[in-house]
Amino acid sequence: MNSEQMTLFSPKLAARFDVLVTKYPVKRSALVPMLLYAQDEVGYLSDAVIAEVAQRLNITELDVRNVATYYSMLRFKPAGKYNIQVCTNISCMLRGAYDVYERFQEELCIGDKGTTPDGVFSLEEVECIGACCWAPAIQVNYDFHDELSPDHVPGILSGYRGKPRSEGSR
């Protein structure tokens, strides 16, 4: 393994991957989780990430890309430090999700899949996130925020400004 690959993932993530590839009856089953966890750390699936995942699973980069392009959470360009995902599917729509989504656009001055110039926030309209009974709901990275109205938007944004990046827990 060359030095570039060795520094791509943190020692913690590299160790996690070493365990992950032994977890399943077939090594390749680790592919989707590896891509997601790598993205959590690196920010997106760069060419280097794809190359290293391919090498760790002993499959081609084409195989990795073929799978990665299928899943909507996986991305090939950086997003903001906090990726805001606003659900606008039916249950959320009926309870005003588009108003919430518009308020985010106004506050951040960005549109769908946009990123703020400082790289802190990105915004995305997403499909159902499984919080229908607590609609309208959003996810910021992996954190859920539910029962929202447009007036909650500034408070959510200021809560994340200057906060260290969450590692997936609520």
The alpha carbon of 161 is separated from its chain's Cα centroid by a whole number of angstroms, namely: 18
Piece in contact with other proteins (CB under 8 A), picked from 7-15, 76-84, 97-105, 153-161: 97-105
Any idea what the Cα angle at residue 2 is, between residues 22 and 12, rounded to 5°?
45
Q: Does 108 bind other proteins (CB under 8 A)?
A: no
Tell the smallest beta-carbon distance from residue 56 to other proteins (Å).
12
Q: Which is nearer to other proteins, 7 or 24 (CB)?
A: 24
Q: Does 76 bind other proteins (CB under 8 A)?
A: no
Q: Does 29 bind other proteins (CB under 8 A)?
A: yes
Cα(60)–Cα(102) distance, rounded to whole angstroms? 42
Any idea what the Cα angle at residue 160 is, between residues 107 and 94, rounded to 5°?
55
Give the C-alpha distances (Å, rounded to integers) separating 48 from 14, 18, 20, 25, 43: 14, 18, 19, 27, 12
Which residues sit at the interface with other proteins, rule CB under 8 A?
Answer: 23-26, 28-33, 35-36, 57, 66-67, 70-74, 88-91, 93-96, 98-99, 102, 127-135, 139, 142-144, 146-147, 168-170
